Structure 1
């Protein structure tokens, strides 16, 4: 049902999430979402639509990586249809000294539109100790 090309494209989206977060690139991050996307943040804030996601991200991302960073790794991809995938991600948070300070377990539902995979319905969940 899936192709290696689709898996590579999905991994590239997740790599761009990491790049945009680490470099505090609001526009790059927001550009990964469908216009009508749903995003629930790690703190439980529910955002509906790219505009709301952009407004929130513009408030919280600048300065967020000053003393920390995060990495994102695709753990599992379930193709629901050839153009829809549920993507489980391992997110690791590190302090300025490179010490692991926590983990997240995002679920990204991505849809392929015009040959491009976009974040569509997403939930970011912290991993409890």
Structure 2
């Protein structure tokens, strides 16, 4: 295996860990854990189309919507594809599945996370969450 392939595997695993932390923070309604995954100057467009600029705005929004969000179900997050734009910048396509309180699939999302590696850690930088329309 080439050095580049080994590097990519290591970085993809680190990115998967960020996505696993997103899932953990969402399922457990941990606002600070979730917000800590963003760069200070991050941008995020929510699944509902709200545009947020900067970690402070993301924190304020998340503190309003995350507590209590899992009382009627949960969500899972799975990395579908990683495109390295540069060694320290990656576009990450995620499959997000929503489940109701009975465990039945109730919807899907298709987030795109642009992550940047800052001081050895992958952080959410420019992000868009999109609901998958019924076909």
Q: TM-score range by the shorter chain?
A: over 0.9
Give the structure-2-normalised TM-score: 0.94
Query: CA separation in 2, counterparts of 1:73 and 1:21?
Result: 13
Q: Which residue does 2:57 correspond to in 1?
A: 52
Aligned partner of 1:72 in structure 2 is: 77
Using the TM superposition, give the Cα deviation of residue 4 of structure 1 relative to its aligned residue in structure 2, in angstroms.
1.3
Shift of 1:3: 2.0
Q: Secondary structure at the match of 1:78?
A: strand
* CA deviation vs aligned residue, 1:49-97 (integer Å, no higher than 9, x gap): 0000000000000000011100000000000000000000000000000
Equivalent residue for 1:115, pick from 116, 120, 123? 120
CA root-mean-square deviation: 0.7
Pick the structure with greater CA Rg.
2
Q: Which runs of 5+ in 2 are unaligned?
A: none
Structure 1 segments unaligned to the other structure (5+ residues): none
Q: Equivalent residue of 1:42, what SS?
A: coil
Structure 1 residue 45, shift from structure 2 partner: 0.2
